[in-house]
Amino acid sequence: MQDAPARAEGDGPWSQLIIRGVTLINGTLAPPIGPVDIVVEGNRISQVVTVGAPGVPIDARRRPVLKEGGKELQAEGMFLLPGFVDTHVHIGGSQAPMAEYVFKLWLAHGVTTVLEAGSMNGLDWVLKHKRQSEANEITAPRILAYTRFGMGASQPISTEQQTLDWVRQNAQKGADGIKFFGAEPQIMETAIKENKRLGLRSKAHHSQTYVGGWNVLHSARAGLNSMEHQYGLPEALFQDRKVQDYSLDYNYQNEQDRFGEAGQLWKQAAAPFSAHWNKVMDELIGLDFTLSPTLVIYEASRDLMRARRAEWHEKYTLPSLWEFYKPNRQAHGSYWFSWGTEQELNWKENYRLWMTFLNEYKNRGGRVTVGTDAGFIYALYGFSYVRELELLREAGFHPLEVIQAATLNGAQLAGMESDIGSVEVGKLADFVIAEENPLANLQTLYGTGAIRVTEDNRVVRVGGVKYTIKDGIIYDAKKLLADVENIVSQAKQSDQYVIKQPGDVD
């Protein structure tokens, strides 16, 4: 994995930054309001001042005064949101071995904070980039490191003492939390509780190899902060079975079995709004348990061609990533051995039931966040974030609720809500600025923009994030994307690489 290079992008920080005349869409469910001037001093928001009404000239007398050495950013007609939080990421890997590529795709889509789920490049590597990002020595979102449980242990963890030792060492090393995949119940219980006692956070992908003995209810009761994906939740909702209806020749190492049958999980769970469904939901909400569904990472399962032919692949997907996505019995998440109508219909129904749960969870006061898990299954960094916003919209969230999930909810899950997640006096200067209203069309946030036909019948692209501001440093989002495009075209040049569809003959 290539380290991120020293920061060569971004303007600032300045002693004072004033963003002028923007329409604010906060993460708090407040409706849009503008024009406002937003003042940042010493990387903290010091004022949010309403300076007029739409469609009429701004009243100059109400405007905050620029101090010497300060910077003004004219943003009249634009929309400003809190910086986005992605609650489930991996910083590349062998399939995308350049931190710069991944970081720029995130920042270009407004992602200013990421929860790194597993520290797959090694905890030291992640912590080094976390520190460099904190100091803005590299161009990257702020990073929170959740170490994969048991990573680096000299032997597999099997006793209470080994569990305690590992959890304490992880905290000492400076990790922010633990990412679990599951373990024996006693070990899960001990690890989650000790980690919480030490003040760290925890998230779990409840692997199907363990959900028979420990599902999301067990985790929530022990004090886990969030569940990732869907696994372990349908299992908590089982009524007439203890285990999913595995086909009798199922093999977990055969990923078409694994993902094909995972697409039939929700229909085996208690029906929406049934007594058991209600009871489990209410208990999870009562435990302040967060859902990080990462709907986008499974979307290819319900519409493979959509994910595979997404218009950004040609310009922005690295050859190594494209090769990794290809149908392959050995690569993770490349389970397209014989994937067609029946599998996709199962997944469509699975999503419908899952989304019903997510929307009602939100309605009853439960916390749902925006996570992506990009880098697998045709899901590209950054672009997947916007797609996840659209999927929550599809689940029934109002666009303002989608933005809250993306910002304040993510900040709360990270334990950082006093610093980030909304635009309020005292918080850090992390913002997303867009020329189009994202509430009216979330697709305008894609780096590839949205299609518009002008009055004189020309077809144009509009949107894309205009500026991403992190710690008061202004990044030109389109420049970041141009850098990514350049990285990809250079990677293709050496062997004249062209993206081809699976099975295509030359």
| Cβ atoms 24, 48 nearer than 8 A | yes
Cβ neighbours of 383 (radius 10 Å):
25
Q: Which is nearer to Zn ion, 117 or 178 (CB)?
A: 117
Give phi and psi for 502, each to the nearest 5. Answer: -55, 135
Q: Which is nearer to Zn ion, 255 or 373 (CB)?
A: 373
CA 182, 188, 189: angle at the middle one, nearest 5? 155
Determine the Cα–Cα distance for residues 133 and 469; give it in Å rounded to an integer: 13
Q: Which is nearer to Zn ion, 261 or 373 (CB)?
A: 373
The CB-of-118 to Zn ion minimum distance in angstroms stands at: 6
The answer to whether 189 contacts Zn ion (rule: CB under 5 A) is: no
The CB-of-353 to Zn ion minimum distance in angstroms stands at: 22
Q: Which is nearer to Zn ion, 37 or 373 (CB)?
A: 373
DSSP state letters, 332-382: TT---SS--HHHHHHHHHHHHHHHHHHHHHHHTT-EE------SSTTPPTT
Structure tokens at 230: 């869907």
Structure tokens at 8: 């060569």
For every residue of 243-288, which 3-state class applies, written as one string?
CCCCCCCCCCCCHHHHHHHHCCCHHHCCCCCCHHHHHHHHHHHHCC
| Cβ atoms 79, 108 nearer than 8 A | no
Task: Give Rg (Cα) of the chain.
Answer: 23
Q: Which is nearer to Zn ion, 371 or 399 (CB)?
A: 371
Q: Which is nearer to Zn ion, 73 or 114 (CB)?
A: 114
The CB-of-120 to Zn ion minimum distance in angstroms stands at: 9
The CB-of-437 to Zn ion minimum distance in angstroms stands at: 32
Determine the Cα–Cα distance for residues 162 and 383; give it in Å rounded to an integer: 40
Q: Is residue 65 packed enough to be buried (19+ CB in 10 Å), middle (13-18) or exposed (0-12)?
A: exposed
Structure tokens at 136: 């803005």
Instruction: Tell which residue, 96, 136, 202, has the closest CA to residue 475.
Output: 136
Q: Which is nearer to Zn ion, 235 or 373 (CB)?
A: 373
**Count of residues interacting with Zn ion (CB under 5 A):** 2
Please name the helix (run of DSSP H) or strand (run of DSSP E) that holds residue 36, with its range, or none. strand 33-41
The CB-of-374 to Zn ion minimum distance in angstroms stands at: 9
Q: Which is nearer to Zn ion, 139 or 301 (CB)?
A: 301
Q: Which is nearer to Zn ion, 180 or 266 (CB)?
A: 180
The CB-of-88 to Zn ion minimum distance in angstroms stands at: 6
| Cβ atoms 81, 110 nearer than 8 A | yes
Q: Which is nearer to Zn ion, 146 or 351 (CB)?
A: 146
Q: Which is nearer to Zn ion, 48 or 380 (CB)?
A: 380
Region from 54-62, 71-79, 310-318, 367-375 binding Zn ion, contact rule CB under 5 A: 367-375
Of all residues in this chain, which one has the CB nearest to Zn ion in the complex?
A: 373
The CB-of-265 to Zn ion minimum distance in angstroms stands at: 18
Instruction: Tell which residue, 438, 335, 343, has the closest CA to residue 392.
Output: 438
Structure tokens at 363: 């309605």
The CB-of-375 to Zn ion minimum distance in angstroms stands at: 8
Q: Which is nearer to Zn ion, 298 or 347 (CB)?
A: 298
Structure tokens at 189: 């219980």
Region from 243-251, 368-376, 378-386, 439-447 binding Zn ion, contact rule CB under 5 A: 368-376
Binding mask 315-354 for Zn ion (x = CB under 5 A): ----------------------------------------
The CB-of-335 to Zn ion minimum distance in angstroms stands at: 16
Q: Which is nearer to Zn ion, 91 or 484 (CB)?
A: 91
Region from 58-66, 159-167, 360-368, 369-377 binding Zn ion, contact rule CB under 5 A: 369-377
Which residues have C-beta within 8 Å of that of residue 490, sequence separation ≥ 6? Answer: none
Determine the Cα–Cα distance for residues 300 and 378; give it in Å rounded to an integer: 7
The CB-of-90 to Zn ion minimum distance in angstroms stands at: 6
Give Dmax over CA atoms of the chain in angstroms: 75
Binding mask 89-128 for Zn ion (x = CB under 5 A): ----------------------------x-----------
Among 37, 235, 373, 430, indicate the residue that binds Zn ion (CB under 5 A).
Answer: 373
The CB-of-108 to Zn ion minimum distance in angstroms stands at: 21
User: Scanning the structure block, which residue is given the tokens 């290819």?
Assistant: 300
User: Scanning the structure block, which residue is given the tokens 């995972």?
Assistant: 262
The CB-of-17 to Zn ion minimum distance in angstroms stands at: 35
Region from 91-99, 245-253, 330-338, 365-373 binding Zn ion, contact rule CB under 5 A: 365-373
The CB-of-39 to Zn ion minimum distance in angstroms stands at: 38
Sites of contact with Zn ion (CB under 5 A): 117, 373
